[in-house]
Amino acid sequence: MDRLLLTLVFVALLLLCVYGMWRGWRRQARTQSVRIPPFPQRPADPGAPQLETTGLYVATTYAGHWQERIVTRGAGLRGPATLRLHADGIDVDRAGMPGFWIPRAAITAVATGKGMAGKVMGTDSLLIVTWRAGEGDDAVEVDTGFRADDRGVYPEWIDKVKGGAQV
């Protein structure tokens, strides 16, 4: 009887912790939806991609704050994705989740990094694109991290993005 009671107390505490984490995630998403403008949608005809890479979308965070994950509008969910570089921007095509568009004019930097929002590697394994979401005074600078299946393409991505953007 004591063991059953102890097990039930443990399960109740575990469920209470999971519920608290879920509520915190939802509250953070609600708060960020006011502060962060909606991410741009992909244009109807972006043209042929200059580069295309498959891999893992890691996260979008506030620029320079690699642990402050943006969770609003599904941006906080990690998953498989394809990055496509077009003449006017980068298409972040996430499998099973809403993708978004990074306009080339909004890109402020592109580099490699070691970690972002709980995903830390020992080498520069992430391609990180720093860009401004929104326009004017409402714009927020964010970092979008991507881990490619073939990390040998990062120098090409950096050269092509810097070559066409105002970085």
Q: Are 71 and 29 in contact (CB under 8 A)?
A: yes
What 3-state DSSP class applies to 117?
A: coil
Determine the residue type at 105: A
pLDDT bracket for residue 167 (50, 70, 90): very low
Q: What is the pTM of this model?
A: 0.78
pLDDT bracket for residue 19 (50, 70, 90): very high
Both tokens assigned to 76: 């906080």
- Structural domains in the chain plus CATH codes: 51-164 (2.30.29.30)
Of 25-29, 124-128, 143-147, the range with the lowest mean pLDDT is 25-29
pLDDT bracket for residue 64 (50, 70, 90): confident
When comparing pLDDT for 93 and 34, which is higher? 93
Q: How far is Cα 130 from Cα 145, in angstroms, rounded to an integer?
A: 9
Mean pLDDT of 65-79: 80
Q: What is the pLDDT of residue 164?
A: 60
CA atoms within 13 A on the CB side of 128: 24
Q: What is the pLDDT of residue 48?
A: 87
Q: What is the mean pLDDT of the chain?
A: 85
What 3-state DSSP class applies to 138?
A: helix
Q: What is the pLDDT of residue 86?
A: 92
Both tokens assigned to 28: 């953070």
Residue 137 CB contacts under 8 Å (≥ 6 apart), including other chains: none
What dihedral angle (degrees, nearest 10) is formed by the CA atoms of 34, 39, 41, 42? 180
Determine the residue type at 96: G
